């Protein structure tokens, strides 16, 4: 399956009974990997709207923002992601996003 096929298959599920944070996260990640950070950011924002406690979605949302040269958006996403990850006990995700924030500050 090509990246375009994967994206098309994920998009076909949007709005259906399987729509939710995981689907939008998967679509956003695939779009970002496929070089479409603008649409990736949109889907990742939908993912965190479905589930504001989805730390992985916050992490990739920050990456999408950074790919669009939106440092403020990236920092905001990672700060929120760190708060969510810390609250859920997801220490690895919190550490990763803390590193991303530090790099951004340089």
Q: Please, what are the domains in the chain?
A: 3-105 (1.25.40.10)
- What is the torsional sign of CA 91, 59, 28, 23? positive
User: pLDDT of 47-67, one tens digit each?
Assistant: 999 999 999 999 999 999 999
The token pair at 36 is 């479409």
Q: What is the residue-averaged pLDDT of the chain?
A: 96
Whether the pTM exceeds 0.85: the reply is yes
User: pLDDT of 75-106, one tens digit each?
Assistant: 999 999 999 999 999 999 999 999 999 999 88
What is residue 49's predicted lDDT score, i.e. its pLDDT?
A: 98
8-state DSSP, 35: T
Residue 106, exposed/middle/buried by CB under 10 A (0-12, 13-18, 19+)?
A: exposed
> By the 8 A CB rule, do 65 and 81 touch?
no
Q: What is the rounded average pLDDT of the residues 3-21?
A: 95
39 pLDDT tier (thresholds 50, 70, 90): very high
CA dihedral 96, 32, 70, 41 (to 10 degrees): -100
């Amino acid at each position: 399956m090509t990246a375009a096929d994967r994206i098309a298959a994920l998009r076909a599920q949007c709005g259906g009974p399987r729509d939710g944070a995981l689907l939008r996260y998967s679509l956003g990640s695939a779009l970002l990997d496929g070089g479409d950070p603008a649409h990736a950011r949109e889907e990742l924002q939908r993912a965190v709207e479905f589930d504001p406690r989805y730390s992985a979605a916050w992490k990739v949302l920050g990456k999408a923002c950074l790919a669009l040269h939106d440092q403020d958006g990236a920092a905001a996403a990672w700060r929120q992601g760190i708060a969510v990850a810390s609250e859920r006990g997801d220490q690895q995700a919190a550490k990763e996003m803390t590193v991303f924030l530090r790099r951004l500050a340089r």
